[in-house]
Amino acid sequence: MPQSIPVLNAAAMRRALTRIAHEIAERNEISSEVVLVGIQRGGVFLAGRLAAFLQSIWNHPVPVASLDVGMHRDDLNQTAAPNMHPTVIPFDITGKTVILVDDVLFSGRTARAALDALNDFGRARRIQLAVLVDRGHRELPIKADFVGKNVPTASKERVEVRLEEEGAPDEVTLQRL
């Protein structure tokens, strides 16, 4: 039987995201330069939530975009083609501080693909990475700038992030096989 171990409940997730928003605000003094880009799927919802927290800190709306990295993955001929979700970046990222948002940071390959994909949309002034969970096991020299929670895992375990936007109560669990 797979074992499900709670990592973050709804309240803890909210606290983690609030803290990340404050860290983003602290690190980036010129708030008008900051845009959020969520990585499909979970990262898009989290980027939307961070935007709301940042708006209450900065008192102005923060642009949000969604990015699907499926076309830039490095394992396209090893696994079945990924389901594609829309990439919608309704603003120019050139000169902006882009906060990439993802739910889980694992091998780092998704983040690498996202960096590649973003290149096609312009030359950002700088790119920072925000993740809800960092579970370790990096395969590339990539590091998150903002982390909700560090979770030590075994490489075979799965981290499951459930979000209200997808119809389940907010929760992060570790699935131990």
Partner 1 sequence: MAWNKKHLLDIQSLGADEIVTVLDTARAFKAVGERAIKKVPALRGKTVVNLFVEPSTRTRISFELAAQRLTADVVNFTAEASSLKKGETLKDTARNLEALNADFIVMRHSASGAPHFLSRFLRSSVINAGDGAHEHPTQALLDAFTIREKRGKIQGLNVTILGDILYSRVARSNIWALTKLGARVTLCGPATLVPRVFEKMGCRVTYNVEEAIADADVINLLRIQHERQRKTMFPSIGEYTSLFGLTKARLALTKPDALIMHPGPINRGVEIDSEIADSARSVILDQVTNGLAVRMAVLFLINGGQGPQGVTA
Question: Distance (Å, rounded) from C-alpha 55 to C-alpha 109?
Answer: 30
Q: Tell me: does residue 120 bind partner 1 (CB under 8 A).
A: yes
20: exposed, middle or buried (Cβ count in 10 Å: 0-12, 13-18, 19+): buried
Minimum CB separation of residue 16 from partner 1 in Å reads 17
Give the per-residue contact string, 131-160, with partner 1 (x = CB under 8 A; - = no). Answer: ----x----------------------xx-
Which lies closer to partner 1 via its Cβ, residue 39 or residue 50? Answer: 39
Q: Tell me: does residue 104 bind partner 1 (CB under 8 A).
A: yes
Minimum CB separation of residue 110 from partner 1 in Å reads 6
Question: Distance (Å, rounded) from C-alpha 13 to C-alpha 1?
Answer: 27
- Exactly one of 37, 45, 62, 103 binds partner 1 (CB under 8 A); that residue is 103
Give the per-residue contact string, 63-102, with partner 1 (x = CB under 8 A; - = no). Answer: -----x-xxxx-xxxxxxxxxxxxxx-------------x
Q: Would you call 152 helix, strand, or coil by DSSP?
A: coil
Q: Footprint of partner 1 on residues 47-66 (CB under 8 A)?
A: none
Calculated CA dihedral for residues 52, 103, 108, 96, nearest 10 degrees? -10
Number of residues that bind partner 1 (CB under 8 A): 33
Q: Tell me: does residue 165 bind partner 1 (CB under 8 A).
A: no
Question: Distance (Å, rounded) from C-alpha 49 to C-alpha 134?
Answer: 18
Closest CA to 4 of 174, 132, 124: 174
Residue type, 8: L
Which residues contact partner 1 (rule: CB under 8 A)? 68, 70-73, 75-88, 102-107, 110, 116-117, 120-121, 135, 158-159
